Amino acid sequence: MSLQARARHATRSSADDARVAELEDTLHCLMSRFAATPSAWLADAVVSHLDQLLRYPASPRLSHRRRRTYDQLMPTWQTIARRLGAFGPSVAPS
């Protein structure tokens, strides 16, 4: 692999890691907010972020263990969201 190709790969990897970190941080914040104030909107947002993480291409930051954890959390959060009436047109609280 040429030096330029390695540099492009490293840049893409660090951008992927940054995006995964952002998704994880937001997911944790949403889950904490939900624990304090449950709502359909927050449950729907948690499901959306879990889905994004599970669909994200391989990233060193997103280990197999983390991916498995998110995969295990998904059905629970889908059930919560469904019971609260999410999965319809979502409007953020004002």
What pLDDT, in 10s, does the model give residues 53-68? Answer: 998 877 767 888 999 9
Tell me if 35 is assigned to some domain. Answer: yes
Tell me if 15 is assigned to some domain. Answer: yes
Tell me if 77 is assigned to some domain. Answer: yes
Tell me how crowded residue 90 is: count the other CB atoms within 10 A of its CB. Answer: 13
Identify the domain containing residue 35 by its residue range.
3-84
- Residue found under tokens 């998904």: 74
CB of 73 closer than 8 Å to CB of 53? no
Tell me if 65 is assigned to some domain. Answer: yes
Per-residue pLDDT of 28-41, as tens digits, reads 999 999 999 999 99
Structurally, how many domains does the chain consist of? 1
